[in-house]
Amino acid sequence: MASQHTPTPHQQPTLTEAVAVLETVVAAEDEERFGPALGLVGGLFGPAGPEEVATAGPRLAALLPDAPPFPRSHLAMLVGACVERGADPSACAGPVLAGLRGALTGAQRLVERWEATGGGPLPDPEEDDPGEAHGRIADPAVLDAWQAHLAVVGWWTLELWQRAAWAVFAHPAVRAEARASGVTAVLLELIARYGGERHDLKGLAYLAQVLDDEPLLVLDRPTGTGYLLRMDGLSDTFQLHTLLADVLIGGGHLPGVRQDPEVVALCRTAHPDGRRLIAAGAFNLVAPDGSWLWNEGTPADIPVLDGVRTLVLEPQPYERTWSAGRFIPDLPGDLRLERVLSPAEAAERLSRTVPAQTAAQAFH
């Protein structure tokens, strides 16, 4: 009699049974059977129910460290798909982000070795032969065969790891845990060091840095006033700038021109309808040390002073406009005013800051 976990020859297995088969294959280090076993899981993923998918996610994530290097990225994609369908993102994130770190490290190693061995166009993962790339970058004196293999794997699979990581970083709990553990800082350093033009990692870097339920102290130097706000899901500083103008100028706390309500809506939850709406700058955003904070950055660039991110508003040195919206359109954002500081508290907080640098200093 077949066990309850083993389908009969004429019985379609369940996703749970297919995951169990894959676990057995990985435990046995059977690389030949890994591909078919993974294919079986993928084929059963679509029709599986929510509970089965939710259970499968963490089990599949646990297999990532021991899966064969090349197909491991396809397993990561399945883990990301499970998260998108309700699996616990925190239970799945660790192995996915570790895999992304390995892919980034390998890809950068390939870029460096490519340059050292003559340069030229980097290999196209969709068109070129990974074996030829391996032969070019491997050198016993510099990069042994296994490390060369991991470099090629990283380059060829980075796009898949990026997509899997996006699925878990889309969740505030994962962002908070990765930031607190130092994982985000390591990944951002690797992304900043990455020298290949093949992969655009800016979106993932911005997503990883999104702050959730984060206090923000804003001090307006011209009026000497201060405000405690709370940011949630803001992916870029253009978005923050627009919402600051809406909350503080639109709310009657600071002088200036109100933002167009449609522009504000695009920075919160609305989706573009094909029109190009323009937001107008209202302030110069400045760190407590007087350095400028550029709209092209993220709210995570705002320094922490005395335990809270602190932003100083100064008059604009020149007019600024930009296309309204969110850098990550699928991520809703919010900025709320919690309280207005007393004049004495605002003055004391402002006394710990220095005036903005000149434009010449900022552009230097």
Are residues 229 and 310 both part of a single domain?
yes
Are residues 186 and 310 both part of a single domain?
no
Are residues 201 and 274 both part of a single domain?
no
C-alpha 121/C-alpha 244 separation (Å) is 44
Look at the chain and report how many structural domains it folds into. 2
In a domain, 276, yes or no: yes
C-alpha 270/C-alpha 261 separation (Å) is 11
Are residues 187 and 278 both part of a single domain?
no
Contacts of 98 (CB under 8 A, 6+ apart): 64, 65
Residue 244 structural domain = 214-363
Asked if residues 249 and 258 have their Cβ atoms less than 8 Å apart, the reply is: yes
Are residues 193 and 241 both part of a single domain?
no
In a domain, 104, yes or no: yes
Contacts of 266 (CB under 8 A, 6+ apart): 272, 277, 324, 325, 326
DSSP 3-state of 46: coil
- Largest pairwise CA distance in the chain: 82
Are residues 185 and 225 both part of a single domain?
no
Are residues 181 and 234 both part of a single domain?
no
Tens of pLDDT along the chain (364 residues)? 444 455 555 578 999 999 999 999 999 999 999 999 999 999 999 999 999 999 999 999 999 999 999 999 999 999 999 999 999 999 999 999 999 999 999 999 999 999 999 999 999 999 999 999 999 999 999 999 999 999 999 999 999 999 999 999 999 999 999 999 999 999 999 999 886 677 789 999 999 999 999 999 999 999 999 999 999 999 999 999 999 999 999 999 999 999 999 999 999 999 888 889 999 999 999 999 999 999 999 999 999 999 999 999 999 999 999 999 999 999 999 999 999 999 999 999 999 999 988 765 766 5
In a domain, 8, yes or no: no
In terms of Cβ atoms closer than 10 Å to its own Cβ (0-12, 13-18, 19+), residue 172 is middle
Are residues 46 and 77 both part of a single domain?
yes
- The alpha carbons of the chain give a radius of gyration, in whole angstroms, of 25
C-alpha 19/C-alpha 56 separation (Å) is 7
Are residues 86 and 172 both part of a single domain?
yes
Are residues 19 and 156 both part of a single domain?
yes
C-alpha 54/C-alpha 86 separation (Å) is 6
In a domain, 10, yes or no: no
DSSP 3-state of 290: coil
In a domain, 310, yes or no: yes
Among 208, 242, 269, which residue terminates a domain?
Answer: 208
Among 208, 226, 259, which residue terminates a domain?
Answer: 208
